[in-house]
Amino acid sequence: MEDQIKGVTRGVVDTGIMTYTLHSPARATLIEWSNAVLESLERWPKGKPYLAVHDISRPGIGMLFCSAVNNDIFQLAVLPETKTRIDTLLGAHPGWTVVLATVVSGSLSGHLSKVLFAREQANALYASKAFFHKDIALRWLTEHANSHMSAPVP
């Protein structure tokens, strides 16, 4: 399945991983993308891991996206103002596995993004990590999900 949000290509990989590739960091695009992610999260079966790739690696996108989201490229629902809503949703489902892989450019903006993420995730409600290559991000998500599949959801 591949679905188009204006400025974002959305799809689902065979393994059930949601993929979003940003083509335009316009505010209207980010709002529409954010709403699509929130809707997916709210409708997602809570006994099934939610795995997503946010690909912001297109040339000229990384720095503009960083600026648009106040350098917080690891927001599950894209925009920083969605944090409270995400925290509430995930807090209501403490055993739910939710994982975000963000694909960044290998350019200076990509390196800057990885530096911005050098923060502690111990208290995070979901796992997230930056990658320079989408295939490696997809592999990490699959491995992460497989390692949590044996654990029962409370």
Residue 116 is predicted with a pLDDT of 56
Q: What is the DSSP string of 5-38?
A: ETTEEEEE-TTS-EEEEES---HHHHHHHHHHHH
Residue 72 is predicted with a pLDDT of 82
Residue 153 is predicted with a pLDDT of 46
Q: Which parts of the chain register pLDDT below 70? A: 1-3, 108-123, 148-154
Residue 78 is predicted with a pLDDT of 94
Measure CA 154 to chain center. 24
Beta strands in 26-136 (DSSP E): 50-55, 98-103, 127-131
Residue 154 is predicted with a pLDDT of 43
- CB-based contacts of 14, cutoff 8 Å, min separation 6: none
